[in-house]
Every structure is written in C-alpha cells, then in structure tokens.
Amino acid sequence: MHFNHRHISEDQYLVNQVLKGNQQAFASIVRQTEGLVVQIVFKMIPAAGDRQDIVQDVYLKAFSSLAAFKFQSKLSTWVGKIAYNSCLHYLEKKKLMFLPGADEQENGLDQLNKHQELFQHSAEKALSQKELAAILTTAVRMLSPPVYQTLIILYHQEELSYAEIGEITSLPEGTVKNYLFRARKALRQQILSGYKKEDL
C-alpha cells in the first residue's frame, strides 16, 4: 500500500515531538484527526451522552500507544482504527448489534458490481443540492445495520479509500466493497420510499 510521503514525514515529526514531551504536537494530532474520530463515534454510538467520553477515551488510548505506532499507515487511519475499536467495545458491552448478521453477509455478493448509481439522474436534476443533502442526511441516519452509516460517511464524506476503511474497521476490502454496495442500495430504497417516483 502506498501513502503520501508528505503525510508520513509530517506524522513522524509529530509523533517524535509528542514522545519528546511536546504537548502542542499532540494537540495538532487531535486537530488533524478529530473530524474523522467524531464522524465514527457519532455514527456508531446511539447514546449521545456517551459519545464525548468515548472520544476522550480514544485520545487517551492514542496518546498512551503512540510509541508503538509503526508508520505502516497514516496516523489519521491509525487513530480512526482506535476510535472504531473503542466504539465496537462499547457496543459489545451494551449488547448492541453493529455489523450485519451472518445470513445477511452471505447474500448479494455476486451483485457487487451491479447498480452502482446512488440515485437516478432524474432525481438529481429535480432536487436542489440543499434538498438532496437534507434527504441524504436523514436517510443515512436510518440505515441498518449501523455499520452501513459508518462506511457511507468514511467513503463518501471523509473520502477514505477501501484500503484505509479496511484498516480502520479490520474488514477485508472485499467486505468493505460489499457493505458499501448494500448501503448504497438501501440508501436509494430509503430515499425512494419517502418520495413518489414521479416526483423524482
């Protein structure tokens, strides 16, 4: 896997500074990664009151584990993985399902490369960008299982690659692609169910 050398060198500088006791360097890491961390936590954790505690826990874990970071990925991806695993641990303790069940995972694999469009072209023409954004936001929140929400945000909003999402979630790239395919399909159905097709 290839990464931007500029990012790697910046990451190495920041990590080295933190390990030397530079608190401002860790504040820079937080600023650079908090958008990704918040997106993961807010999409995975249903209880609003627990989200801030989990975000703080993510950065405590990152700080205490920084010396073990091997620069085999971008620092932001590594922090994102800590956030994802922290959320999974929380969900497991609460006995809340995040990933699809085994039966659901086995269905639809042969259709992965079919029907890739999120909306019909007529829908995009008929709705303004603002209307479309509002509809999308609502529809994403309703996706189930919740992993679909997270993957849609990581891929389409955070613009992470399949490989980076795989690193964060510990899911094989093929599974990430499959889940994203089904998430898009569910998202399209969710949107169409709320509007008459002739209106779109």
Is 80 exceeded by the pLDDT of residue 112? no
User: Could you read off the pLDDT of 175-184 as tens digits, one per residue?
Assistant: 999 988 888 8
> According to the model, what pLDDT value does residue 185 have?
84
Is 60 exceeded by the pLDDT of residue 108? no
CA–CA gap between residue 14 and residue 58 (Å, rounded): 18
> According to the model, what pLDDT value does residue 134 have?
59
Give the long-range contacts of residues 96-100, CB within 8 A, separation 24 or more.
96/46, 97/145, 98/44, 98/145, 98/146, 98/147, 99/145, 99/147, 100/145, 100/147, 100/179
Tokens, residue 107: 């269905």
Q: Are residues 62 and 29 in contact, defined by beta-carbon separation less than 8 angstroms?
A: yes
pTM: 0.70
Top pLDDT among 123 and 169 is at 169
8 pLDDT tier (thresholds 50, 70, 90): low
User: Could you read off the pLDDT of 117-167 as tens digits, one per residue?
Assistant: 434 444 444 445 555 555 556 666 666 677 888 888 898 888 899 999 999
> According to the model, what pLDDT value does residue 194 have?
60
Burial class (CB in 10 A: 0-12, 13-18, 19+), 23: exposed
> Residue 145, preceding bond cis, omega within 30 degrees?
yes
92 pLDDT tier (thresholds 50, 70, 90): confident
Report how far Cα 193 is from the mean position of its chain's Cα atoms. Answer: 25
Top pLDDT among 144 and 197 is at 144
Burial class (CB in 10 A: 0-12, 13-18, 19+), 76: buried
> According to the model, what pLDDT value does residue 119 have?
40
Q: What phi and psi, each to the nearest 5 degrees, are found at residue 142?
A: -95, -5
Mean pLDDT, residues 99-104 taken together: 50
Q: Which domains does the chain have, with CATH numbers?
A: 5-93 (1.10.1740.10), 102-199 (1.10.10.10)
Sign of CA dihedral 80, 85, 86, 87: positive
Top pLDDT among 110 and 150 is at 150
Sign of CA dihedral 168, 169, 174, 180: negative
Q: Which of 1-10, 89-98, 106-115 has the highest mean pLDDT?
A: 89-98
Top pLDDT among 190 and 32 is at 32
Other C-beta atoms within 10 Å of 174: how many? 12
Among the listed residues 80, 53, 73, the one whose alpha carbon sits nearest the alpha carbon of residue 12: 73
CA–CA gap between residue 102 and residue 77 (Å, rounded): 27
